[in-house]
Structure 1
Amino acid sequence: MLPTRGVGKSSLFITWFESGWDAGVRDTKETSDVFPWNKKPWWSSNRSQFIFIRTDVLTTWPWRDSHKMYLLRGRGEIVIRCTYCVAVGKWSLDILLRGCVQMATKFKVTDQVFFDITIGDEDVGRIVIGLFGDITPKTVKNFLALTKNGIDGRTYEGTTFHRVIKKFMIQGGDIVGTGSKVGTGSISIYGKYFEDENFEVKHTAPGFLSMANAGKDTNGCQFFITTVPTPWLDGHHTVFGKVVEGQDVIHKIEQTPTDPEDRPSKPVIVKSVGIIPTHDPFYVSDEPYE
């Protein structure tokens, strides 16, 4: 049960140990060093020995990190505290994970598309990409439209991966530029450009699908797929999907010889594209080899 509104400084603690659950009411002051009110809603210690999350009681736990998974190691412990703070006039839920390590971050796949790829005259296989429609609905809507119907009949079918950099990424999606101008075009269902939707998903692993741009709020049709973690791109490019099949095809593209401007010596062509019905959404993680 929750303490009454008048208690103010008392909290309900629920603690999980290896031996099971324990609950009890304690005075807040006893653990003020563990649950400080002046901390931000999310923080962790070095090597994630302590993970702390704070959220309003009437919102989804844990705050905006509901897709994170944690593994308790050794003699790990979870402490959950529900407190009414007189100073701010509201209940909050505090979660402390002690002795834990973050395992992976999960992302819900709402839609899937496929790209069949040729390099030169050789069919090298199919790439299937899962899209994060709940996290980046606007970006996903644009990508699906350019895959299915396109703009004025122009879709991703027949486009190329025009920029390939080993141990970095492969870039494609220009449905506007032709010849030497491929890689300079921009168009979207919202206009020539549309704004950065968010930077919630990070470039933490190979296989992430992210928007290419020419600067802030200049998203269009071009995209890239990472081949290594690229954290320096966080906060600058919107990640909106991940490769779920065809990682070997990505590797083949990455290994294609290129000229000094990073253009493949043999054309890497998206021979055909399509949408795969996804009636049952599923989750992928940022594990490199999932």
Structure 2
Amino acid sequence: MFPREDIDILNIVGTVVDIALVAYVIYKLITVIRGTRAVQLLKGITVILIVWFLSSFFGLRTLQWLMSQTVTYGLLAIIIIFQPELRRALEQLGRGRFFTRSTTVEEKNTVQMIEAMMKAVKYMAKRRIGALISIEKETGMNDYVETGIQMNAKVSTELLINIFIPNTPLHDGAVIMRNNQITAAACYLPLSENPFISKELGTRHRAALGISEVTDSLTIVISEETGNISVAKNGDLHRAIDEETLKAMLEKELLGDLKSSSTRWQWGGSRNG
């Protein structure tokens, strides 16, 4: 027989492991349904459960009975409504991918996004097509997203180029990117009011500096006059950089610890390049 102290320790360890496994499974389920219509349905279910709890707490019997019936038959409804998501989860479980790290997929998507951006930037710089692309990081940019046209589109070279083609509806303004997607286009960014900015900088460069002063975003600017590529971050503007340097910046900022084959870049240059 085990001593009582050992039994208590085993019970605690078992409880911790049990909670950890359930939390991990819930996390993986969330990653499976993220970005699908199931997210909105889950919000609706959460509202129903809250109403059920409140009706029970305040003694609203009719409403409580209605919510009880909804919950009772809700399981079958969930299976029917979430059928595509459940099938995808079971397929991933069968392939052994359910318990793998999702960072590999995210890194792959980020690498594809960087490649698409590099091709678009190269094309536009060569033809002197003005562009302004701001990539959201930790600081939210919803206030600026709301000033533009919502897109929530997958990043592609062709789409980025078409957005900035002159005399098209979306070319005037900035593209804001979030989670490897084009969140919005034709957005208005705050202009920098720094008095030491070079007078030769135009509105795009001032907007890139302005947004970099109030957020931690990474903003790419292509000059319409010269075709030069510039990048703004943390209030610093690095002007007339080459494509290899831009790619190194993007990989360092967006891929984090993933080793880059390009030259490593360290921030801290001058405000005017």
TM over 0.5: no
Relative to its length, the structure with more helix (as a share) is: 2
TM range (shorter): under 0.3
Higher relative contact order (CA 8 A, sep 6+): 1
Largest Rg, 1 or 2: 2
Give the structure-2-normalised TM-score.
0.24
Give the structure-1-normalised TM-score.
0.23
Relative to its length, the structure with more strand (as a share) is: 1
